[in-house]
Amino acid sequence: MGPSRVFPSLQRATPLLGAVALLGLLTACGSGGDSTGAGQTPAGTISPTTAPTTSGPGTTEPTTTEPTSVDTTSPATQSGGPGTRCHTSQLRASIGRPSPGAGQRNFPIVLTNTGGHTCTVRGYPGAAFVDAAGKQLGPDPKRSPDSPTTVTLTPGSSAWAGLTFASPEISGARTALPQALLVTPPDERDPLKVAWTAGEVPVAGNESSVFLTVVQPGTGG
């Protein structure tokens, strides 16, 4: 075969195509585009589809403050007002006059309202005999099967609960001599201390149980 021939039309087109490509490259560089044809964002501007996400010093972000809800429908209740439970701090405890029975020893535990407001007591008080060191003597008293009622105490008025046990001289129970009786008002935790001057009490053995009744109006005298 003879030497290859270049067609005259291709020779004429080659310089023209090169000039067109060069012109397109110069145009892209002058318009801020990249080689892919995508537009570039100038420095210091924000794309319309991008929101600011940084929040450093000197920037302020919008905040929403929820209104504070205040309940104005519930009136305040004064502690110690009429109809409220009597607290230990409002009461004084004492031991009333004993009432001997057939082989029984009975004592009224009296709670007196020393506060300035009317209050109520209901149910059983707590009671515990203690020695001079404050150690409890004997088990906790048992509760007699009574029906509790609410007792309203105006300032200066009293309620009482019965404390009873079998006479140790008759029952033969083992005894101890208490220094005091701790009395806890119904539904309270803090006791009132009352000096015990009524002699020995049963703490173990036969018929050594001590019983308590519910509170009733008055002093039990």
- Nearby residues of 92 by Cβ (< 8 Å), 6 or more positions away: 111, 112, 114, 192
- Nearby residues of 134 by Cβ (< 8 Å), 6 or more positions away: none
The predicted-structure confidence for 105-120, as pLDDT tens digits, reads as follows: 999 999 999 999 999 9
Q: Which helix (H) or strand (E) holds 9?
A: helix 8-30
For the chain, the domains span 84-217
Model-level pTM?
0.62
Fold of 84-217: Immunoglobulin-like (2.60.40)
Low-confidence spans in the chain with pLDDT less than 70: 1-83
Residue 60, pLDDT score: 38
Q: Which helix (H) or strand (E) holds 164?
A: strand 158-166
Name the nearest CA neighbour of 114 among 162, 84, 158, 78. Answer: 158
The predicted-structure confidence for 13-41, as pLDDT tens digits, reads as follows: 444 334 434 334 334 334 444 433 333 33
Residue 83, pLDDT score: 64
